[in-house]
Chains A and B, each alone.
Chain A
């Protein structure tokens, strides 16, 4: 049974902290984030450096990658939407992907066990 999904979310950098807070409240603990350049149909920024005027087609975005058990997909997605949404074009996307296998490196645990946070001692 494929009990694990990978949630990839691309959000505005200025909303990244709100997303982290919302995920924390939803008790989603394991995640990674990267700063990326992206374009999601928002209006291009025009910038001028001396005589050179350019249209910036890519904007700073933050990409979250979160491995979760099936039943955690919905709370995770809801938390991301709550944290990232401003209502303007360029708020980002969330992708939910099936995952073949997840392995926790330290213990060798697989799938659901591997994405379930360790109970703190």
Chain B
């Protein structure tokens, strides 16, 4: 059956693509607020760089490795450099194939950027860019292929709506490995390292949630079936937010803003794999109980020696793990027309989900560990200790986020402008 293009589906997917793209600068803002002011730009730039480097990598190679061919583990290169990716429909969808490519590109971009949270404030910018490019091809593309490109998990019946495997568990467990290979910041555990702008953190979280409506709402790849996943994206994070605030009151005595921002991310991650498969009330339950493992992990992690700086593992890895498993219990064929979970009479679904939570963390961790070790053998991954002290904004980018301008002396005005040149006195 050759499907024809549906204008409504296409209009929604164009919109959803733009929504998901916004999530990457939103993530940059979220992360930038969580670091010290001297590392604001570097942290933000790691996300911004993904828009360029990973976007191009996707079009050249990674898209094809994820979505072309029927291999169990990885696709092939038939669609490399967008060969045969055109304006006609494909894959039985009702949108142009090129739009499908663009939509999926935005997923790969933000997933690579997410890992930066593990290595901010000490990793050099260039190796991180190279890492993202290689990671998109060698870790993200195969994992996306497993669940969405008719790979082995898809064939076994694993359900993953918007990326519990290739996005959330992949980024979370890659972040875990990256934090180990790159090592802790020199100040970690020695002095208090505090977020420098909680307003950025809240604004970033809000924009991420907004974009997530495209992430989950678009992952059905049509407009008519988007309502459930869209609405669940409203409900689950709302439940997480409430539970998180209650926990903050009970454990710390005060509701914290950074906690609330974290809760929004955790809630969105929890519902990501399950958005189109469970009922709205199940989504609320998922958002509520799924908050617990992440909350506890985030409380304990800073006391360990693991400087997984911005808690990508807790927010994405653990929540993605939980969300994927939850489908095995609460999937409802009444809502998704595909499969029931254990509680609705189909225990086999739980096994399909369990395979994903065994394989995804292992592959992401090992893949990233090896990749960074190889890169680390070719070039230093970290800035010098002194540069870490002054901050990566000046050291890596020659800019500051909060420029005073006092004492700045013009040394090379652009040619063509009639500035008076400052000449060194002999």
Chain A interface residues toward B at CB < 8 A: 12, 14, 17-18, 37, 39, 45-49, 51-58, 86, 88
Residues of A within 8 A of B409 (CB): 54-55, 57
- B414 at the binding interface (Cβ < 8 Å): yes
Chain B interface residues toward A at CB < 8 A: 38, 191-192, 386, 389-391, 394, 398-400, 403-404, 406-414
Given contacts A14-B389, A17-B191, A45-B394, contact A52 B410 (CB under 8 A): yes
Given contacts A55-B409, A56-B407, contact A46 B398 (CB under 8 A): yes
Asked if B407 and A47 make an inter-chain contact with CB atoms under 8 angstroms apart, the answer reads no
Residues of A within 8 A of B414 (CB): 51-52
Residues of A within 8 A of B398 (CB): 45-48
- A51 vs B191: C-alpha distance in the bound complex, in angstroms? 38
Given contacts A17-B191, A47-B394, A88-B386, contact A37 B404 (CB under 8 A): yes
- A14 vs B409: C-alpha distance in the bound complex, in angstroms? 24
Q: How far is the CB of B416 from chain A (nearest CB, A)?
A: 9
Asked if A14 and B390 make an inter-chain contact with CB atoms under 8 angstroms apart, the answer reads yes
Residues of B within 8 A of A56 (CB): 407-408
Interchain residue pairs A-B with the least CB separation, the first 3 = A58-B407, A51-B414, A57-B407
- A58 vs B407: C-alpha distance in the bound complex, in angstroms? 5
CB < 8 Å A-B pair total: 52
In the complex, given contacts A14-B391, A53-B410, A88-B386, what are 13 additional A-B residue pairs having Cβ atoms less than 8 angstroms apart?
A14-B389, A17-B191, A37-B404, A39-B407, A45-B394, A47-B400, A47-B408, A48-B398, A53-B412, A56-B407, A56-B408, A58-B404, A58-B407
Residues of B within 8 A of A49 (CB): 399, 403
- A17 vs B407: C-alpha distance in the bound complex, in angstroms? 26
Residues of A within 8 A of B400 (CB): 47
Asked if B404 and A55 make an inter-chain contact with CB atoms under 8 angstroms apart, the answer reads no
Residues of B within 8 A of A39 (CB): 407
Q: How far is the CB of A67 from chain B (nearest CB, A)?
A: 26
Q: How far is the CB of B194 from chain A (nearest CB, A)?
A: 11
Q: How far is the CB of B239 from chain A (nearest CB, A)?
A: 39
Asked if B399 and A47 make an inter-chain contact with CB atoms under 8 angstroms apart, the answer reads yes
Give B385's nearest chain A residue, CB to CB. A86
Residues of B within 8 A of A48 (CB): 398-399
Give A53's nearest chain B residue, CB to CB. B412
Q: Which of B38, B404, B406, B411 contacts A53 (CB 8 A)?
A: B411
Q: How far is the CB of B405 from chain A (nearest CB, A)?
A: 9
Q: Could you name 26 residue pairs across A and B whose Cβ atoms are closer than 8 Å?
A: A14-B390, A17-B191, A17-B192, A37-B404, A37-B407, A45-B394, A45-B398, A47-B399, A47-B400, A47-B408, A48-B398, A49-B399, A51-B413, A51-B414, A52-B414, A53-B410, A54-B410, A54-B411, A55-B408, A56-B407, A56-B408, A57-B409, A58-B404, A58-B406, A86-B386, A88-B386
Residues of A within 8 A of B390 (CB): 14
Residues of A within 8 A of B38 (CB): 14
Residues of B within 8 A of A17 (CB): 191-192
Asked if A46 and B411 make an inter-chain contact with CB atoms under 8 angstroms apart, the answer reads yes
Q: How far is the CB of B280 from chain A (nearest CB, A)?
A: 49
- A46 vs B38: C-alpha distance in the bound complex, in angstroms? 16
